[in-house]
Amino acid sequence: MTTSEKVVLDVGGLRMRYGSVDVLHDVTFQVRHGEVLALLGPNGAGKTTTIEILEGFRIRSAGRVEVLGTDPAHGDERWRARLGVVLQSWRDHGNWRVREFLEHLGGYYAGYATPRIRRPWDTGELLEAVGLAGQAGKKIKTLSGGQRRRLDVAVGIVGRPELLFLDEPTASFDPRARSEFHDLVRGLVDAHETTVLLTTHDLDEAEKLADRIVVLNGGRIIADGTAGELARRIAGEDEVRWLLDGQRFVQKTADSTRFAQDLFARYGDGVQELEIHRASLEQTYLALVRQAESAAGSTKESTTESTTRSTTGSTTEAAR
Ligand SMILES: Nc1ncnc2c1ncn2[C@@H]1O[C@H](COP(=O)(O)OP(=O)(O)OP(=O)(O)O)[C@@H](O)[C@H]1O
């Protein structure tokens, strides 16, 4: 098995119930080594619950979960040191200075270094990587909202995690900070082979960062695939447009990459102004959620209808 085929996260038939309410129903997906998976879904879909179960912060009601080969419900400190979690802002350590805070936290990981993974991340390099080198000597309470979020990210990766959980990581970033954060995550994945599970409501972010998308709605997975696969499922086919000998052509196709390769193989440099259009992730996502909600609505309606009918039926029976 090659490293990239290794399953880092394996979830099967996961269920979660709060009191008498089921919020996750039979959730099943896998994430492979070095993959970035975006978990999308409307408010209340169950994303945070899923992530917290995988992190070992919540105990599931049923199902199978393995994270880096371990059941998170029984993960020890060595297992936890291999994970990175970007939490919401650190508000309790306002008087600490940025560098000393990261050095302090990094110290915790030193005992978990391996011949392959040097832990913790060198503080100077880490501050550079997250764009906080200029704030190293500042007290945390004096950082701006965006700088504090960068610190959250630094805290999440100081132990050079093999698997990184990002729950709405760029929620309060300005566009520049967001773009730098995307470069940082892609760098982590490419250079350090970090696997990432991300939740976000920013569909551009998901499209930019994720190799694969899983969409949750009402605690159920309604889609799992690359952004392109999901778009084709919704929009049917891609549209390829090109210019040949001054004439414009348009063709619908299910495999636009293969189509473009064939086009160039046949006409070479004669092909000009090639464009491939497919539904955006935003259009795809909205269509998927709408479909799932109308399916759930009609199931509910038919259940209500049959309940009403059977109630009416039994009343009629009783009247007889
Ligand atoms: N501790 C809890 N007790 C009871 N119900 C809860 C608890 N935590 C979450 N829920 C419910 O579980 C469902 C899923 O919530 P969750 O926070 O996982 O959704 P989410 O997809 O992360 O939403 P958002 O996008 O708003 O963050 C919601 O209906 C929520 O009200």
Nearest residue (CA) to ligand 1, atom 25: 43
| Residue of 102, 103, 15 whose CA lies nearest to 60 | 15
CA 123 to ligand 1 center in whole angstroms: 35
- Provide the ipTM: 0.97
Q: Do residues 238 and 205 both lie within one domain?
A: no
- Note the pTM of the prediction, 2 decimals: 0.81
Mean pLDDT of 201-220: 92
Q: Residue 219: helix, strand or coil by DSSP?
A: coil
Both 147 and 271 in one domain: the answer is: no
- Work out the average pLDDT over 200-210: 89
Give percent of the chain with pLDDT exceeding 70: 90
19-57: pLDDT as tens digits: 999 999 999 999 999 999 999 999 999 999 999 999 999
**Taking 60 as the threshold, does the pLDDT of residue 231 lie above it?**
yes
Do 48 and 139 reside in the same domain of the chain?
yes
Q: What is the pLDDT of residues 1-16, one digit of tens each?
A: 556 569 999 999 999 9
- Please tell me whether residues 130 and 264 are part of one structural domain: no
Is the same domain home to 50 and 167? yes
Structure tokens at 145: 């909202």
Query: Do 115 and 264 fall into the same domain?
Result: no
Q: Report which of residues 41 and 296 the model is more confident about.
A: 41
Say yes or no to pLDDT of 314 above 90: no
Which ligand 1 atom is at minimum distance from the Cα of 45?
21
Ligand 1 binding pocket, CB closer than 6 Å? 18, 23, 41, 43-49
Instruction: Note whether 28 and 146 are same-domain residues.
Output: yes
Give residue 83 CA to ligand 1 midpoint distance, Å.
23
Residue 198's pLDDT band, with cuts at 50, 70 and 90, is very high
Q: Is residue 131 part of a domain?
A: yes
Question: Both 156 and 253 in a single domain?
Answer: no
Phi and psi at residue 164, to the nearest 5°: -115, 130
17, 23, 203, 285: residue to mutate for ligand 1 pocket, most atoms within 8 A of CB: 23
The answer to whether residue 93 sits within a structural domain is: yes
Q: Give residue 227's Cα distance to chain centre.
A: 12
d(CA 142, CA 130): 17
Atom of ligand 1 nearest to the CA of 19: 4
Which domain does 88 fall in, by range?
Answer: 3-227
Site to probe by mutation for ligand 1, drawn from 16, 18, 60, 87 as the one with most ligand atoms within 8 Å of Cβ, is 18
| Distance in Å, CA 31 to ligand 1 centroid | 22
Q: Are 275 and 263 in contact (CB under 8 A)?
A: no
Q: For residue 62, report the phi and psi dihedrals to the nearest 5 degrees.
A: -160, 165
Question: Are 24 and 166 part of one and the same domain?
Answer: yes
Give a yes or no: residue 309 inside a domain. Answer: no
Domain for residue 48, yes or no?
yes
Tokens matching residue 217: 């709605």
Give the confidence band of 294 by pLDDT, cuts at 50, 70, 90. Answer: confident
Beta strands (DSSP E) in the chain are 7-18, 21-32, 36-40, 62-67, 83-86, 163-167, 195-199, 212-217, 220-225, 238-244, 247-253, 271-277
Environment class of 318 (CB within 10 Å of its CB; exposed 0-12, middle 13-18, buried 19+): exposed
Total structural domains in the chain?
2
pLDDT tier for residue 301 given thresholds of 50, 70 and 90: low
